[in-house]
Amino acid sequence: MKKQILLGNEAIVQGALEAGVDFVSTYPGTPASEIGNTFAKIAEKQGIYFEFSTNEKVALEAAIGASFSGLRCLVAMKNFGLNVASDALLPLCYTGIKGPMVIVVADDPSCWSSAQSEENSRAYAYLAHIPMLEPADAQEAKDFTKLAFEISEKFKLPVILRTTTRVAHQRMPVIVNSKFKIQNSKLKGKFVKDVKRFVTMPPRVLEMKEELLEKIEKIKEFAEQNKINKIENYLPAEARRAKAGKLGIIVSGVSYLYVKEALEKLELDLPILKLGFFYPLPEKKIKNFIKKLKKVLVIEELEPYLEKEIKILAKEINPKLEVLGKDILPQIGELKTEIIISAIGKLINKKIKNCLPAEVLLASGTKAGKFKIPVRFPRFCPGCPHTMVLTAIKKAAPKGTIFGGDIGCYMMAGLPPHELQDYLLCMGSSIGIAHGIGKSTNQKIIAFIGDSTFFHVGIPALVNVVFNKSNILIIVMDNLITAMTGHQPNPGEKIKIEDVARACGVKNIKVVDPINIKEMEETIKEFLEKEGVSVIVSRRICALLAKKQNK
């Protein structure tokens, strides 16, 4: 055993290696991207199969096939990717697995790299009845990954390891096993037919649900005994300066680190129940923790899932207990140590000097005094080919044209100075929504979509607009890589977007190098006047990738 300084995502890779992973699939999405990037570098040497899949659903389905064949599998994605994969996830929990499977899902509170919403993936634990672990730091990210494989193997269910940006992207010394066995499995799996086990059809599917719920009850007992749910008093008695009464804290995920720092700064010795299991919850341990308290503060980012569960348990074991959470803590954005200091200060009637950082004060509408934070918008990289497309569009598109945004670098088209984005929802929706607008109005519509997004989920939308005779212009921003998440490969290396569009029935197609702004401008004008679906493929290598390749 030795220590290595690892990123949280790298620690997950290390944990998977120590657990003997055979098969890894992913679709890149920040804050989970480094998991795939790291495996891409080491997989061949470690004897592991690795792929960047077309989207998260097929990544999960590929891993399901490998698991059904007995291999140890890991799938990684960001929160929105779980939405895409959920169609396969829910029935998988019914069938169970053969080879153990860990699904890493990275959430992004405060939307640092997520445009669509501040989604909280913990809801899927309840929806799918799938065990979920929440590490707080990089060491736990490694350890919990190994534990997730153990739980999956023991109970024959997939397990979600849910991280957040601050877990995925923190860096710390991690104790690792430097002598784990290299697999060199060469994919020696075998699929053994078992219709009763692998086919979800009524009436068998209802029996499967009953079996799933029985497994969850057994995992609940396992969670009660597991050390990742722990009670601790942060400071020794001699360090106490304030009496907080019978106040306790229940916390999960990265918020645990904020709590530790807050109590250290307040010099308080409060009992903490740190939950590593989010689902199923160790109810006996929680009841034992809260039964003699007067107040308990539940600290969790975003929706109050834990808080609601603890209020239910409190009615049974301690009806007079005051359960506090989102009434004094925000439900929007990441938590911070300063926010927790302020909240605890209110509960112990201790006047705390305003220690909130400037960005929190400004966001809450508080006068920030000397703090003047200038508004800075993200910008395209110098030499980005997308800026050339936007320049041509501004010259060519008539007033009143609707511009449909999608997920990728070109989202910045909606920001100053470009301001060419009238809607933005999710991957592939630029085309789908454009179709609805086109059928409802006579307005001209230009839908933007990137090359990776096109292969991810844009093709079904393209088939739909052709089949239903839409009248829109689609501009595919093909910079020959999945740029936004760190230059991962995509199917565009082997499959030409224009060939796919042609096979889908599009007749008006042209490939243009956007550096030729005049040609791009003329093509946009021409295609906007054509009837039916038109596709322009704007193809020029990402400027950063070109720079890397030149080096």
CATH number at residue 174: 3.40.50.970
Average pLDDT over all residues of the chain: 91
373 domain-assigned: no
119 and 240 belong to one structural domain: no
Backbone phi, psi, residue 61, to 5°: -65, -40
Residue position matching structure tokens 């030409």? 496
Q: 445 and 431: one domain?
A: yes
Give domain status of residue 207, yes or no: yes
Report yes or no on 372 lying in a domain: no
Does 140 share its domain with 254? no
Do 126 and 199 belong together in one domain? yes
**What percent of the chain is predicted at pLDDT more than 70?**
92
190 and 336 housed in the same domain: no
pLDDT at 114: 84
Sign of the four-CA dihedral 238, 244, 248, 252: negative
In this predicted model, what pLDDT tens digit does every residue of 453-503 receive, in sequence order? 999 999 999 999 999 999 999 999 999 999 989 899 999 999 999 999 999
| Predicted pLDDT at 245 | 62
Task: Please give the average per-residue pLDDT across 270-290, as a whole number.
Answer: 96
- Which amino acid is located at 247 in the chain? L
495 exposed, middle or buried (CB, 10 Å; 0-12, 13-18, 19+)? Answer: exposed
Condensed to tens digits (0 to 9), the pLDDT of residues 112-154 reads: 888 789 999 999 999 999 999 999 999 999 999 999 999 999 9
Task: Give the tokens for residue 549.
Answer: 């390749």
Whether 25 has a pLDDT exceeding 80, the answer reads yes
Instruction: Name residue 233's beta-bridge partners.
Output: 271
Which of 225, 257, 275 corresponds to the end of one domain? 225
**Is pLDDT above 70 for 367?**
no
Name the residue type at position 281: L
Contacts (Cβ under 8 Å, ≥6 apart) of 289: 231, 248, 250, 271, 273, 296
At 377 the pLDDT is 83
Residues 50 and 129 reside in one and the same domain: yes
* 433 in the same domain as 519: yes
Confidence band, pLDDT 50/70/90 cuts, at residue 178:
confident
CATH number at residue 296: 3.40.50.920
Of 47-51, 182-186, 252-256, the range with the lowest mean pLDDT is: 182-186
Each residue of 208-228: pLDDT tens digit? 999 999 999 999 999 999 999
CA distance 47 to 71: 13
User: Is 33 within a domain?
Assistant: yes
- The DSSP annotation for 242-274 comes to ----SEEEEEETTHHHHHHHHHHHHT---EEEE
Name which of 37-46, 235-244, 407-416, 447-456 the model is least confident about.
Answer: 235-244
What is the residue range of 524's domain? 385-550
Task: For residues 162 and 281, state if they share a domain.
Answer: no
Structure confidence at residue 346 (pLDDT): 86
Dist. CA 73–CA 15, nearest whole Å: 12
Measured CA distances, 98 to 71, 92, 191, 204, 247 (Å): 8, 11, 10, 18, 45
**Residue 377 within a domain:** no
CB atoms within 10 A of CB 519: 14
User: Do the Cβ atoms of 167 and 138 come closer than 8 Å?
Assistant: yes
Q: Are residues 272 and 413 in the same domain?
A: no
Q: What is the pLDDT of residue 187?
A: 65
Instruction: Please indicate, yes or no, if residue 435 is contained in any of the structural domains.
Output: yes
76 lies in a domain?
yes
pLDDT at 353 (0 to 100) = 66
Q: How many domains does the chain have?
A: 3
Residue 114, in any domain of the structure? yes
Q: Could you report the per-residue pLDDT of 78-97, keeping only the tens digit for each?
A: 999 999 999 999 999 999 99
478 contact partners, CB below 8 Å, separation of at least 6: 450, 451, 492, 497, 537, 538, 539, 540
Q: Which residues of 141-179 are buried (b: 16+ CB within 10 A; e: fewer)?
A: bbbbbbbbbebbbebbbbbbbbbbbbbbbbeeebebeee
Q: What is the largest CA-CA distance in the chain?
A: 80
Last residue of a domain, one of 202, 225, 248: 225
pLDDT of residue 188: 79
Q: Are 536 and 385 in contact (CB under 8 A)?
A: no
Of 59-63, 148-152, 257-261, 545-549, least confident by mean pLDDT is 545-549
Domain boundary (225, 249, 282) is at: 225
Do residues 94 and 61 share a domain?
A: yes
Distance from CA of residue 210 to its chain's centroid?
29
User: With bands split at pLDDT 50, 70 and 90, how would you rate the model's confidence at 362?
Assistant: very low
Residues 544 and 426 in one domain: yes
pLDDT digits (tens, 9 = 90+) for 384-416: 999 999 999 999 999 999 999 999 999 888 888
- 49 and 169 belong to one structural domain: yes
pLDDT band at 356 (very low <50, low <70, confident <90, very high): low
